[in-house]
Structure 1
Amino acid sequence: MNNIIFEHPLNEKMRTWLRVEFLLNQLNRHCQFDQNNALIFFHALSELLEIIERNDVKGDLIKELESQKQKLILWLTFDGVDYDLLNNLIYQFDYFLAQFNLITRLGQPLKDDRFITAIRQRLTIPGGCCSFDLPLFHLWLKIPQERRNIQVENWLQHLSILDKSLTCYMQLIRQMGEFKPFICSNNFFQETNGDVNLIRIRVSLDKNVYPQVSGHMSRYSIRFLPLDTCDNVNSDSIEFELACC
């Protein structure tokens, strides 16, 4: 059966992590580009830098890594756990924390880069990256691919520690939630939980519905809406799976 997983954050920090993760994935997926799709990369880069500038991404992520590390250390005291896996994760978190401590301001070299800044300024204008707006960018897209790839790789290196640490952190968070089957009756499902950061909803693609989630960390509700407004959702019972992370 083909399923789709929807993820919904239940607090502001998780909302930020999901957005940063999404933009990092966009950068990695579109880091080798030509003049036809270059703006996908620079749009993602600009939006990521905007999030970093508006939020204390470095400080907040350091706190999250420290918190998860302490939980992992506590798990070492339990019998039957995978000690090698836990020690490996603790080692990784220590490495990430040490690397963050070497950085004064996350992404600062990218913010100071005059080439990137020129493009970011024009991205706010509809159609503002035409060749007459950014002749420097137009010329740069004509240089050999190998030279551009090296420069892009150098840019991404400044975000490497953010990418690696957030990937590890989000993988751990997602693994904390086990999918369990539920039925949404009368197209309404409500759950009361403790400290939940993220819910993951798995539903069959055949149902052609998506979830509408409202609530917060301790209580939330789910309704399912059809992709096409002309379709009717079977409000009697919609089977789905839910993981609370």
Structure 2
Amino acid sequence: MISYEYPLNERIRTLLRLEDLFDKVAHFSDRDAPQDHHVALQTIFETLEVAGRADLKVDLVQELERQRQILMSFRNNPEISEDALAGALYEIEHASTGLLSMAGKIGQYLRENEWLMSIRSRAAIPGGVCQFDLPSYHYWLNRDPDLRRGDLDKWMSPMTPIRAGLEIVLRLLRASGRPEAQLARCGAYQLTMAGRSALMLRVRVPHGDAVVPEISANKYALNIRFMLPETVARPRQVERDVNFELTFCSL
């Protein structure tokens, strides 16, 4: 199954974007080629941009505390494993401690690095980081891969508490819903929300079904159109019934 996630507020949208960026940094940092480490560094700049939201850290700390209080209410419940509960509480408390220990604006240490900021400004120009534009960056890209990887880890590690916090929040969010089988007749599905509250929708379709969902939702209605995944022509809605799974996720 292919899963498509649709955030219903700006906070969840930011967390999903950061999750994607953190995963990409980790993926390209683990490789050895200079081109991979160039992509990793560009992705670090994107992460810095998205994580720069002033209230991100506060939002994560507040949500983790809310989840901690919920889990605390399950103590002494015979149907709940005490070991699993203790492990979840420890994970949340550890993440909260890391977030609270972050001083100042997120990523400020990167903004104060003139060399990195010179690369960032040149990277915004198409082809702007050629060797004749930034010879010192060209030298860095030709260093030993382990040395470059060490630098990338050093630049990302202060933001580790952000990643740890959002991973917990998104994991709890994804686990909160129950998938339900649905049918989009002639490629279209509509649902009146009727008081349903959700922070994120998940739509899952079989791998072998060549359709892409276009989702629009507000507090009143949900609309999903399944489109043909055209890469040349303009996308068109499918004209057949589509089976899919729909999950409403909320914290």
TM-score by length of 2: 0.88
C-alpha root-mean-square deviation of aligned residues, in Å? 2.0
Asked if the contact 2:34–2:145 (Cα under 8 Å) also holds between the matched residues in 1, the reply is: no
Aligned to 1:212: 214
Q: 1:175 to 1:217 in 2, by over 3 A?
A: farther
Aligned equivalents of 1:77, 1:199: Cα separation in 2: 33
Is 94-103 or 29-38 further displaced after alignment? Answer: 29-38
Cα drift, residue 151 of structure 1? 1.6
**Distance (whole Å) between structure 1 residues aligned to residue 247 and residue 210 of structure 2:** 20
1:18 to 11, 16, 19: 16
1:77 Cα deviation (Å)?
A: 6.4
Runs of 4+ in 1 over 4 A off after TM superposition: 229-232
Cα distance, 1:197 vs. partner? 0.8
Q: 2:35 aligns to what SS in structure 1?
A: coil
Paired positions, count: 242
Decide whether aligned partners of structure 1 residues 108 and 230 sit closer, same or farther in structure 2, where only a CA change above 3 A counts.
closer
Please give the secondary structure, in 1, of the residue aligned with 2:181.
strand
Using the TM superposition, name which of 148-157 and 9-18 deviates more.
148-157
User: Which position in structure 2 is the counterpart of 1:72?
Assistant: 71
Q: How many Å separate the matches in 1 of 2:224 and 2:236?
A: 19
Q: Indicate how the Cα distance of structure 1 residues 80 and 109 shifts in structure 2: closer, same or farther if over 3 A, else same.
A: same
Which deviates more from structure 2 when the two are superposed, residues 7-16 or residues 69-78?
69-78
Aligned to 1:81, the other structure's residue is in SS state: coil
Match of 2:5 in 1: 7
1:206 deviates by 2.3
Deviation at 1:9, TM superposition (A): 0.5
| Aligned-pair CA distance for 1:158 | 1.1
How far residue 161 of structure 1 moved from its aligned partner, in angstroms, is: 1.3
| Structure 2 residues without counterparts, runs of 5 or longer | none
* Structure 1 residues 191 and 4: CA distance shift in structure 2, 3 A: farther
Q: Is the 8 A contact 1:214 1:220 kept in 2?
A: yes
2:127 corresponds to: 127
Question: Amino acid of the residue matched to residue 190 of structure 1?
Answer: L
Gaps of 5+ in 1: none
State the partner residue of 1:174: 174
Describe the SS at the equivalent of 1:200. Answer: strand
Deviation of 1:118 (Å): 1.5
Alignment of 1:46-61 (within 5 A): 46-61=45-60
Offset of 1:84 from its aligned partner?
A: 2.4
Instruction: Please state how far the C-alpha of 1:55 moved relative to its aligned partner.
Output: 4.2
Secondary structure of the residue that 1:80 maps to in structure 2?
Answer: coil
Q: Work out the CA distance in 2 between the residues paired with 1:190 and 1:27.
A: 38
Contact 2:29 2:36 in 1 (8 A): no
Residue deviations 1:110-137 (CA, integer Å, cap 9, x gap)? 2222222111111211111111211110
What is the TM-score when the length of structure 1 is the normalising length?
A: 0.90
Q: Which residue of 1 aligns with 2:61?
A: 62
Partner of 1:143: 143
The amino acid that maps onto 2:102 is: I
Task: Report deviation, 1:7.
Answer: 0.7
Distance 1:204 1:191 in 2: 25
1:33-92 superposed Cα distances (whole Å, 9 cap, x missing partner): 432333311221111101122442211211221222222223446552333222211221
